[in-house]
Amino acid sequence: MSIDKDKIKHISKLARISIDSNKSDSLAKDLTSIFKFIEQLNELNTDKVEPLSSILNTPLRSREDKINDGKIRDKVLENSPKKNEEFFVVPKVIE
């Protein structure tokens, strides 16, 4: 797969990363070579191999259903660029 400028624009928009337009050519080139490497891996026959979601052979750690967190509104709101006593305040988003 080759990555072009439009694709760079699309994925940077999805990821909310702003990219200088004079950099998108070199980025497209870098990403294309990365994809070429991945395509090489695709040549391997993996029909009988389960997809690997984790390399650790330990079970997922779980917890009991207990309430032992929360009630820290001030801390949670502390770093918000805009807030009032109770809420995060963000620019109007409405459909």
SS3 83: strand
> Site residues for another protein, window 14-43 (CB under 8 A)?
14-16
Regarding 70 and contact with another protein (CB under 8 A), the answer is yes
Selected from 10, 23, 29, 36, the binder of another protein by CB under 8 A is: 10
Selected from 21, 22, 42, 84, the binder of another protein by CB under 8 A is: 84
Query: For the packed helices 24-42 and 5-14, what is the interaxial angle rounded to 10 degrees?
Result: 90
Residue nearer to another protein on the CB measure, 40 or 53: 53
Q: Contact at 8 Å (CB) between 8 and 28?
A: yes
